[in-house]
Structure 1
Amino acid sequence: MTAVNRVAIAGGGAAALASAILLAEGGVEVDVYELRPELSVLGSGITLQGNALRVLDRLGVWSEVCALGYPFDGLSLRAPGPGAPVIADLPEVKTGGPGYPAAMGMSRPDLARVLLRRAESLGVRVHFGAPVTGLQETPGGVEVFVASQSAGVFDLLIGADGVNSVVRSLIGIEAVPRPTGMGIWRTFVSRPAEVEHSDLYYGGPMYIAGYTPTGQDTMYAFLVEEAQDRSAVTETEAVEIMREASLAYGGPWESIRADLAAGSQVNYTWFTAHVAPAPWNRGRVVIIGDAAHSCPPTIAQGAAQALEDALVLSEELLAAEALGDPVWDAFHARRIPRAQAVVEASVQLGQWQLDHDREADAPGLLFGIAHRMAEPA
């Protein structure tokens, strides 16, 4: 017997689908309600650290992830300018343990498709074009309203509906993502043969320039600048802005610029961060993933933390016989300090760059967080 028998999940991202998979494996009836009309096929790449890979293996999708992604160990730092010389090769901590690579790059749409297929194979009902718009606690559950119509009464509603979470607002949690002062240009391009792991360039006109392989033939590239209002920029202008901003960087950036000139798409977002204070639940409703905490991608732990939320929540729900304070106390104890540490470290790394702090111990901070993440959630 488990604490829940029927669960509704708002959102269709990694945290939502991972929760659905794990609960369905445990015999729970699961309905996922996603605002978008269909699974998005747009997006650039994602870096999955070892602790994220450990959870993906637990989800039963490891072989597919390996087939579609690009595993790698290590990180190189390059100098800006012609030739982009490598100035340091840094080993990475295998946060998933010795059985997994330090990291894997992957296309975001590919990861979404893999998780969706796995969820549906377990009987999870995924409803697209189905926004959660309201909820009402009942004596024995929570009534969930989708597009203003009742979808029924559930034992639990999981709000895994992203940084702009409706569920978070519905239960009165006021913490919302705040800009950190940086903006990022991203593009999805072909992978030159010389790119075998992530490279980062510090210096030059951008705070950070870098790229990560996501497959045998693909990678995503990014440039981090001081946050600006880019809302009026057209797609054509965005491509040209990114191309021009990258001119200070050599090496594989020559190939990236060629792809930009050939029509690669570009997107721009601001870095934001937040951590909702405890508790993340209100009665039979709980938020996880980006709804509960978000951070800049400076240490590439966002996806890992969302997946860990899903894993820990599912473990606690499936191990308990009733939904009450012991479940929530255990969940919060395992998740909030860990997520808080990641968010604070991610923001600190960016702030040191904004402050041009040359004395900051960025490597020490990175390795400290990595060693902490190597311990299972």
Structure 2
Amino acid sequence: MTPQRTPHVLIIGAGIAGMSATIALRRTGAAVDLIDIEPGWTVSGAGLTITGPTLRALRQLGVYEEVAAQGYVGEGIRVCGVDGSHIRDIPTPMPAQAQVHGSGGIGRPVLYRILSAKVLACGVRPRFGTSVTRIVQDAGGVDVTFSDRTRGRYDLVVAADGIYSRTRRQVFPGAPRPHYTGQSVWRMFVPRPPGIDRRHYFLGGEVKVGWTPVAATRMYLFVVERTPRRTRRPHELPAALARLLAPYGGHVGDFRESIGPGSEIAYRPLETFSLPGPWYRGRVLLVGDAAHPTTPQLASGAGIAVEDALVLAEELARHRTVPATLQAFSARHEQRCRFVVDSSIEIGRLEQRQAPPHAQTAVVERALARLAEPI
């Protein structure tokens, strides 16, 4: 690729990381093809907790106002005991120049609608039901063969195809596989009671319980459970979740009473892996969960995926050549992503040991303060 020629980029995966990369790279003038193996934009899971640094990234991406209007933004995290009593509040300040709140939440389907509209508005029409069957690189570019037997040549390939990335298996054949962390998470939407103005943690019990407002009248409830062996999805989700919540008081008790056979509950074992750097080979770069999957304890997985997109676009605009761009991207963002993953895993280990609430929240507070620093 010469500095005068418009770079042609293939993005594999139309989730949060892939859509963010599409939006950010289009702003640099790059030509972008976006594909996804699914038949359309699909999303699983209930809600998404958004930290202040993630809100800053969403502002830089150009979607903060929509997120604030259709989701929730506020300040602070309230830490409570099992009985619902108030223990302390964790501040979530952001630098004034960031022009965002320190905390937030949104339904995943809502965020997908916001990002997908932005993708379409920047002139990209995703090819759904399409995957990559072959990648061949040379010094000047990447030849890609698709599942529909079409082919393309690209200056850069960005793999945003998730924790089970097919691209990672093709380009990094020796990469570690995802492994179970010892915890599983339950999620469901619940009504947002009047007066609830922030995220909550309920610590000190057998499981970690929390909620995040995601709209004016809606929250999502999450329960992180220690299960030493990876277990299959329980057959009776509502009854099993109600049992886990039995010791908890306050509004959690009210939510427990509302759980019934028709309750929509998402259940997922937590997995991760650590991929040695750099997260690129030649002209193929892994981003998001394909490179640095994180557990939800720090609520920053989506945030660092959006940051991947922003940093990549900034470095491409600065350097204009793919090798220099990828080197600069790795030097600038890889350690920040590892910090998020390591901090999240540390919190999860403290939860599994049932460490005192102050030990768990100290990691959260320290990590959020560091992430508030400039990228």
* Interval of TM-score (by shorter of Structure 1 and Structure 2): over 0.9
Other-structure match for 2:374: 376
* Partner in structure 2 of residue 38 of structure 1: 40
Aligned partners of 2:78 and 2:199 also within 8 Å: yes
Query: Which range moves more in the overlay, 256-265 or 9-18?
Result: 256-265
Q: Which runs of 5+ in 2 are unaligned?
A: none
Contact 2:204 2:357 in 1 (8 A): no
Q: Could you tell me which amino acid in structure 2 is paired with residue 215 of structure 1?
A: A
Provide the TM-score with structure 2 as the length reference: 0.93
Structure 1 Cα separation of the partners of residues 177 and 329 of structure 2: 21
Query: RMSD of aligned C-alpha atoms?
Result: 2.1
Following superposition, the deviation at residue 140 of structure 1 comes to: 2.9
Query: d(CA) in 2 for partners of 1:255 and 1:94?
Result: 33
The within-5 A match list for 1:73-88 is: 73-81=75-83, 84-88=84-88
Return closer, same or farther for 1:360/1:251 CA change in 2, 3 Å cut-off.
closer
Percentage of matched positions with identical amino acids: 33
Distance 2:51 2:97 in 1: 11
Deviations 1:118-155 (A, max 9, x none): 01101112112112232122453212222262331111
Unmatched runs of 5 consecutive residues or more in structure 1: none
Structure 2 match to 1:108: 108
Question: What is the aligned partner in structure 2 of residue 183 from structure 1?
Answer: 184
CA gap 1:368/1:96 in 2 versus in 1, 3 angstroms: farther
The farther-off stretch of 215-224 and 254-263 is 254-263
Residues 216-231 of structure 1: pairs in structure 2 closer than 5 A: 216-227=216-227, 228-231=229-232
SS of the residue 2:306 aligns to: helix
The CA deviation string for residues 171-207 of structure 1, in whole angstroms up to 9 with x for no partner, is: 025033322211111112221223221111112231x
The aligned counterpart of 2:317 is 318
Q: Take 1:168 and 1:3, find their aligned partners in 2: how far apart are those partners?
A: 28
* Alpha-carbon offset, residue 292 of structure 1: 0.5
Secondary structure, in 3 states, of the residue corresponding to 2:112? helix
Q: Is the 8 A contact 2:77 2:90 kept in 1?
A: yes
Tell me the TM-score normalized by structure 1: 0.92
Distance 1:16 1:96, change over 3 A: farther
Which region of structure 1 is more displaced relative to structure 2, 137-146 or 8-17?
137-146
Aligned 8 A contact 1:9 1:33 in 2: yes
Aligned to 1:334: 332
Q: Is the 8 A contact 1:133 1:148 kept in 2?
A: no
Question: CA 1:357–1:77 in structure 2 vs 1: closer, same or farther (change >3 Å)?
Answer: closer
Mapped pair 1:25 → 2:24: no
CA contact (8 A) 1:47 1:212 kept: yes
Moved more, 347-356 or 67-76: 347-356
Matched residue type, 1:100: V
2:57 aligned partner: 55
**Counterpart position of 2:360:** 362
Letter in 2 for 1:129: G
Aligned residues: 371
Q: Distance in 1 between matches of 2:96 and 2:246?
A: 36
Deviations 1:239-281 (A, max 9, x none): 2111221121122223423442272211111222223211111
Shift of 1:330: 1.2
* One-letter amino acid of the counterpart of residue 188, structure 2: T
* Secondary structure of 1:220's aligned partner: strand
Q: What is the identity, as a one-letter code, of the residue corresponding to 2:28?
A: G
CA shift for structure 1 position 102: 0.7
